[in-house]
């Protein structure tokens, strides 16, 4: 290894200030916020990561320290989620409770501009225009994303510590449940009946009988990925807000 003879260590290490943790970049601050939301005692975990990274920086340089920090953070994340789910039954209850409320409310509350309002009757089948499909899907999709973010925020607010743990559970459940809309929009309970030379034949797509389904592949990222992401962002917003208030209180004390 190329070492600096004056210090007997890597020249890259000489550029970092010994004994100080490397400065945090924006992605790293975001990762710290995630870890803050997952750990019951985030100061202890983040402090260990900062101290460990400072040690690596002094020995092997800033680049190795960054790599070490990210590696440790990535390894800690699933462990913290699993630890939280196993040790905090209240968090599991909060996640499942908000999920059930979300599903029930989203079925009960009619969406005035949603795709469900378009009945597609067999007697007079009028296919919706492409623009209408795209508009309805976009508006409904955005409404679902906003609801997902609200649900995530509410779940994080319900938890006392490790606020993101129940939000992760909620995001996974929502992603699994609503990813069926990744492939289909259900146009109300009806059957598509095609008239062909006086003979009628029925077309059923999908597993829901009497439903006419239209595949809309662009919703795959919307519901399969963006809905869990929106849920997590809602939870992270609460974590960030609480963290800021804590810091302000500590600063004022």
Partner 1 sequence: MFYKIEDMRALGGLELDVLLAVAGNDGEAHGLLVRAAVSEARGREISVGATYTTLTRLEAKGLLASRTTDPLPVRGGRSRKEYRLTAAAHEALAAERDRAARRWAGVPGPGAEPGWGQA
- Where are the strands (E) in the chain, listed by range? 184-189, 192-196, 199-203, 211-215
Work out whether 21 is an interface residue with partner 1 (CB under 8 A): yes
Polymer length in residues for the chain: 253
Cβ neighbours of residue 155 closer than 8 Å, sequence gap 6 or more? 94, 95, 98, 163, 166, 167, 170, 235
Out of 13, 46, 145, 147, point to the residue binding partner 1 (CB under 8 A). 46
Q: Quick one: which segment of 6-14, 17-25, 181-189, 195-203 binds partner 1 (CB under 8 A)? A: 17-25
Task: Report the residue from 44, 202, 204, 248 that binds partner 1 according to the rule CB under 8 A.
Answer: 44
Please give the Cα distance from 154 to 171 (Å, whole number). Answer: 12
- Quick note: the x/- pattern for partner 1 over 68-107, rule CB under 8 A, is ----x--xxx-xx--x---x-x------------------
23/131 with CB nearer partner 1: 23
Q: Are 228 and 175 in contact (CB under 8 A)?
A: yes
- Determine the interface stretch with partner 1 among 38-46, 144-152, 177-185, 221-229 (rule: CB under 8 A): 38-46
Return the structure tokens found at 245.
Answer: 């208030």
Q: How far is CA 181 from CA 178, 185, 213, in A?
A: 6, 6, 10
List contacts with partner 1 (CB under 8 A). 19-21, 39-41, 43-52, 54-55, 72, 75-77, 79-80, 83, 87, 89
């Amino acid at each position: 290894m190329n070492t600096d003879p004056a210090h007997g260590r890597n020249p890259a290490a000489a550029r970092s200030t010994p004994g100080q943790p490397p400065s945090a970049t924006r992605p790293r601050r975001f990762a710290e916020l995630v870890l803050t939301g997952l750990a019951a005692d985030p100061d202890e975990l983040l402090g260990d990561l900062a101290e460990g990274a400072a040690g690596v920086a002094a020995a092997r340089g800033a680049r190795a320290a960054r790599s070490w920090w990210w590696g440790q953070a990535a390894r800690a994340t699933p462990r913290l989620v699993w630890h939280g789910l196993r040790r905090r039954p209240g968090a599991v209850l909060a996640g499942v409770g908000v999920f059930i409320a979300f599903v029930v409310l989203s079925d009960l509350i009619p969406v005035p501009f949603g795709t469900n309002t378009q009945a597609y009757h067999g007697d007079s089948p009028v296919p919706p225009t492409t623009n209408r499909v795209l508009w309805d899907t976009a508006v409904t999709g955005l409404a679902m994303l906003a609801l997902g973010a609200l649900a995530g925020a509410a779940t994080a607010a319900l938890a006392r510590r490790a606020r993101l743990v129940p939000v992760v559970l909620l995001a996974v459940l929502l992603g699994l449940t609503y990813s069926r809309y990744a492939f289909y929009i259900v146009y109300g309970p009806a059957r598509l009946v095609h008239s062909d030379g006086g003979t009628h034949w029925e077309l059923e797509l999908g597993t829901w009988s009497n439903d006419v389904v239209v595949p809309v592949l662009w919703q795959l990222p919307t519901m399969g990925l963006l809905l869990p992401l929106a849920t997590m962002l809602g939870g992270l917003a609460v974590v960030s807000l609480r963290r800021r208030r804590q810091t302000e209180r500590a600063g004022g004390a």
